[in-house]
Amino acid sequence: MLEIAQKNELNIISINAEEFNEIGFLEELANQLIAQSKVDQIKEAGSQFLNFIGKLKPTLDIGGAKIGVEWGAKQRDVYDKLKNLFDHEQPTLVFLDELTVLLSKMIAEENGKEKASSFLHWLRSMRIVKNSKIKWVFCSSVGIANFANVHQLSKTLNDIEEYILRPFDKETGVAMVLRLGESNELGITEEVASQIVVKLDYCPPYFLQLMFNKMESLHKIEGLAIDRLIVDVAYERLIPKGY
């Protein structure tokens, strides 16, 4: 998706949010906005923003779990300054992966729900800018909508559309398993790959990856041959009894 967007001459902002705490995420976002911008005023404002936020960092502990008084007082100012770095006239794709992991870190902090709510409202305020050419994609292995619902934050996401990734068809599923076997030097025949797809029936890439990993472990650690039997054993090890 990012490659297609780039071929269509969109600016790309791509962040794996699980790698950061709140302030680290804001810095990374600012750095990417500065790097992508062709507007001198935005670049200058970005440098000023990084200098401003850098002075607040000593008020945070190393893990970022506790936020100092100064950060709490300046948080709104930080968000407002960063918001000004977005150029809504420039076609841009903002791709935020594992956003729920970052939100979970924020929720775990003191006044966590308030912080997460402010963060999500801030993101929403940029998504609803009239005639904005910025497109947003939020991705997460833990559902963002479910997270928001659990913490009564759903109204912060009421402008987004949920997109469920469809499972692979049989041919694509078999091709993926064969490619995994080739990449990991695990001799998987087309017959065995087909058996995996039939066994799973519902084949999103994640499920196929789980089956492959379990089969690889059974083969390398327990010495099971790569045949139809190992597919049954892997499936039974992954699925709790009674399901």
pLDDT for the residue numbered 187: 87
Position 69 pLDDT exceeds 60: no
Q: What is the mean pLDDT of residues 57-82?
A: 67
Under a CB-based contact definition with an 8 Å cutoff, are residues 203 and 173 in contact? yes
Position 240 pLDDT exceeds 80: no
The whole-angstrom separation of Cα 130 and Cα 208 is 41
pLDDT tens digits, 22-55:
889 999 999 999 998 888 889 999 999 998 888 7
More confident residue, 196 or 23: 196
Distances (CA, A) of 178 to 42, 104, 184, 188, 192: 48, 36, 10, 6, 9
Q: What is the mean pLDDT of residues 12-24?
A: 92
Position 65 pLDDT exceeds 50: no
Among 48, 50, 68, 49, which Cα is nearest to 59's?
68
pLDDT for the residue numbered 71: 64
pLDDT for the residue numbered 62: 47
How many other CB atoms are there within 10 angstroms of residue 227's CB atom? 14
pLDDT for the residue numbered 206: 87
Structure tokens at 166: 């469809």
**Pseudo-torsion of CA 56, 59, 63, 66, nearest 10°?**
-120
Average pLDDT value over all residues in the chain: 88
The whole-angstrom separation of Cα 205 and Cα 207 is 6
Q: Please tell me what DSSP assigns to residue 84.
A: T
Q: Is 167 helix (H, G, I), strand (E, B) or coil?
A: coil
Q: What is the mean pLDDT of residues 96-117?
A: 90
Q: What is the mean pLDDT of residues 51-71?
A: 62
pLDDT tens digits, 149-165:
899 999 999 898 888 77
Task: Find the angle CA(156)-CA(157)-CA(160) to the nearest 5 degrees.
Answer: 150
Position 186 pLDDT exceeds 80: yes
pLDDT for the residue numbered 143: 81
